[in-house]
Amino acid sequence: MQNTGPSKSRVLCFLFITVFFSLILYLKSGWVAETQAGIAVFSLLSLISLWILYIDTKRKVIINKAIDQIQVHEMTLLGRERRSSYPLSEFAYVRSIITPGRSAVNCVELVTAGDNWGLVVSSFFPKGGPRFFSLITETESPNAETLCKAIADYTLLPNKGFQGHAYCKTHIRSRNEQSYFEKRL
């Protein structure tokens, strides 16, 4: 499943802000050293944002029921591919949640049997619900609901469905991953 995370609109918004501030700097001062430095900084931040967006879109989660394995293919900030694998039998159920906060994200997550660890499969924009006393309420995205059902049907894991606003579980580590401190000991 290709990650279609909600960060795409943030990058486009940041690019718009970059162009806007660059134009303001140019109109205010002309083409002087300060304007050039400001445009260079905004352009660099835009390029970094585009690179992060590119990295986010390259994340893939492959569930292989035949060999009881989940493979996650990601890219590091330097562009190297990182692969992690997890036994499918470690996971107990699939759920959909919306992370609390100002920029809410609808995450589809596989959770382990001990209910301590989780693996985020994909993230989506939450569906905007009706306003209630001027408060915007978010509900589950139809894409997240479809993905939960597809994973549950394919893996035969229970689908706990949409569980409202909650934080994602702590990210499960692969057997071949070690933290920095474990490597140092």
Both 165 and 100 in one domain: the answer is yes
The answer to whether residues 124 and 143 touch, using CB atoms and an 8 Å cutoff, is yes
What confidence tens digit (pLDDT) does each residue in 96-105 have? 998 887 777 8
Whether 28 is in a domain gets the answer yes
Both 159 and 129 in one domain: the answer is yes
What confidence tens digit (pLDDT) does each residue in 17-69 have? 777 877 887 788 777 887 788 788 888 888 887 888 888 888 899 999 999 99
- Backbone φ and ψ of 16, nearest 5°: -60, -45
Concatenating the DSSP letter of every residue in the chain gives -B---TTHHHHHHHHHHHHHHHHHHHHHH-SSHHHHHHHHHHHHHHHHHHHHHHHHHT-EEEEETTTTEEEEEEE-TTS-EEEEEEEGGGEEEEEEEE--SSS--EEEEEEETTSSEEEEEEEEPPEE---BTTB--EE--HHHHHHHHHHHHHH---EEEEEEE-PPPEEPPPTT---HHHHH-
CA–CA separation, 71 and 25 (whole Å) = 47
Both 46 and 90 in one domain: the answer is no
Beta-bridge mates of residue 127: 139
* Count of domains for the chain: 2
Both 23 and 86 in one domain: the answer is no
Both 154 and 125 in one domain: the answer is yes
Both 37 and 92 in one domain: the answer is no
Confidence at 7, pLDDT banded by 50, 70, 90: low
What confidence tens digit (pLDDT) does each residue in 166-180 have? 888 888 876 555 543
Q: Which two tokens stand for residue 173?
A: 């580590």
Whether 151 is in a domain gets the answer yes
What confidence tens digit (pLDDT) does each residue in 112-156 have? 988 788 999 988 888 875 555 545 667 888 999 999 999 999 999
How many Cα atoms occupy the beta-carbon half-sphere of 96 within 13 Å? 25
Confidence at 94, pLDDT banded by 50, 70, 90: very high
- pTM for the full predicted model: 0.71
Q: How many C-beta neighbours within 10 Å does residue 31 have? A: 9
CA–CA separation, 161 and 170 (whole Å) = 19
Whether 67 is in a domain gets the answer no
Both 85 and 151 in one domain: the answer is yes
Domain span at residue 53 reads 8-57
| Token pair 């931040």 in the structure block, residue | 45
Both 84 and 164 in one domain: the answer is yes
Both 98 and 143 in one domain: the answer is yes
Whether 64 is in a domain gets the answer no
Whether 17 is in a domain gets the answer yes
pLDDT (0 to 100) of residue 180: 39
pLDDT (0 to 100) of residue 1: 45
Whether 82 is in a domain gets the answer yes
Both 31 and 95 in one domain: the answer is no
Both 42 and 98 in one domain: the answer is no
Model confidence at 10: pLDDT above 70? no
pLDDT (0 to 100) of residue 165: 84
Whether 86 is in a domain gets the answer yes
pLDDT (0 to 100) of residue 79: 85
pLDDT (0 to 100) of residue 134: 45
Both 86 and 42 in one domain: the answer is no
Whether 150 is in a domain gets the answer yes
What confidence tens digit (pLDDT) does each residue in 67-82 have? 999 999 988 888 899 9
